[in-house]
Structure 1
Amino acid sequence: MDKISILSKYMPAAAAPLVAKWIDYFKCEFKVSRNRNSKFGDYRHPFAGKGHRISVNYDLNPYAFLITTVHEFAHLQTWNEHKNQVKPHGTEWKANFKLMMRRFFDLKIFPFDVERAIIQYLENPAASSCSDLNLFRVLKKYDQKVSNAITVEKLAANTLFSTKNGRVFKKLGLVRKRYQCLEVKTGLMYLFNPLAEVYPVSA
């Protein structure tokens, strides 16, 4: 199966030809990855005989998958221009992300609410789209719904919940924009995005 057909399974079909061109042009290894709770995507620069490598989580909705893909290609372009001489999410990366993202506006890919949220996000893009709660909320409307899942922000304090991989946590307080949660088994503290989907656990 050709790249465009494969990419069309994960992102809006109209975006797939351009992303396929980027993969060929940059000679990039592009991988659809398993779910990673800590990140949506990843970029690795050439090292030890390996070229550019990008991976994006398979279970993102098509719009989130595309935005994450562009995010990582912006890292690739920034590395080609500056190597390791600039900050990972500094002004150079932000400029490349904005430029590459706008290519997809011309294709009329995004629903109005998603496009508007992206435009607001592009005013000062952060390290991850999930750190912009407005964009993250809009994107989550297009996720496939899981019947018994609930977002962390909707849980009462001290409620127990589990993640997809079965780890159990207790919700504590809000620390800046994220919720501090105690992993019951290890006693370690973790920060959760308010919109992370989890599963309530009976005490």
Structure 2
Amino acid sequence: MDFKNFIPFKAIPFVQFLIDEHNFTLKIVNQRQTKHGDFRQLPNGKFQITVNNNLNKHQFLLTLVHEIAHHVTHQKFGRVQPHGKEWKAIFQHLMLPFLHPDIYPKEILPYLANYLKNPKASTDADVNLSMALKGNEASAGKSFIFNIPLGSFFIFKNIIYKRGNKRRTRYECLNIKNKKVYLFNQNVEVTLFDKEHI
């Protein structure tokens, strides 16, 4: 699969340069529940980056550059903290050419710039950026936690929960199976569940 179909058109030359410069294989793979992308060294010594095929162009680009930053960090520093200060500095540097309204729309740019001041391991940890990247719309057939009424039941990773009260930024949700309460970020996407089935 050609990466050019998965990123904004104006980003193609920059990404092509990064691929040529840093010598890795890019694989576009089916959606994984736990991650958007990853970077690894293969048994033959070559390097591979994978990115999920279900991401929109802006999510895909950010994930790809995130993983390229892991590769560059590994080349430059060897084994260091996966999302430590070395990776953060390289990720910020690699993202600079993409912080442009021709690549990221003005609705996303302020959240992206704010996130890059101190990038986290996952973009989903930054609720505002995550929502902006999704165009403030959940995937088909799903809802964001904050849109689910208090006391409603929903499914997340094949487990049924009941939505509870909001704390400062997260929601208390009761796991129906083990009766434990878990905290969910408001941008988590879940499937509504008809409680008559419980």
Give the TM-score range, shorter chain: 0.7 to 0.9
Which residue does the alignment assign to 2:3? Answer: 7
Q: What is the alpha-carbon distance in structure 1 between the residues aligned to residue 171 and residue 135 of structure 2?
A: 21
- Is 1:124 the equivalent of 2:118? yes
Superposition deviation, residue 12 in structure 1:
0.5
Which residue does the alignment assign to 1:38? Answer: 34
Which stretch shows the higher mean deviation, 67-76 or 178-187? 178-187
Which residue does the alignment assign to 1:197? Answer: 189
Which residue does the alignment assign to 1:162? Answer: 155
Structure 2: 5+ residue stretches without partners: none
CA contact (8 A) 2:99 2:113 kept: no
Q: What is the alpha-carbon distance in structure 1 between the residues aligned to residue 133 and residue 85 of structure 2?
A: 25
Which stretch shows the higher mean deviation, 62-71 or 148-157? 148-157
- Output the amino acid matched with 1:119: A
Please state whether the residue corresponding to 2:5 is helix, strand or coil.
coil
Which residue does the alignment assign to 1:133? Answer: 127
CA contact (8 A) 1:152 1:193 kept: yes
- Is 1:78 the equivalent of 2:73? yes
Please state whether the residue corresponding to 1:199 is helix, strand or coil.
strand
For residues 50-61 of structure 1, the aligned pairs below 5 Å read 50-61=45-56
1:122-142 Cα shifts (integer Å, max 9, x gaps): 111111111111211211217
Superposition deviation, residue 17 in structure 1:
2.9
Please state whether the residue corresponding to 1:42 is helix, strand or coil.
strand
Percent of counterpart pairs with the same letter?
Answer: 33
* Pairwise CA RMSD: 2.7
TM-score, scaled to structure 1: 0.80
Q: What is the alpha-carbon distance in structure 2 between the residues aligned to residue 51 and residue 7 of structure 1?
A: 19
TM-score, scaled to structure 2: 0.82
Which stretch shows the higher mean deviation, 109-118 or 72-81? 109-118
Superposition deviation, residue 159 in structure 1:
2.7
> Structure 1 residues 11, 191: closer, same or farther in 2, change over 3 A?
farther
Q: How many pairs were matched up?
A: 195
> Structure 1 residues 170, 105: closer, same or farther in 2, change over 3 A?
same
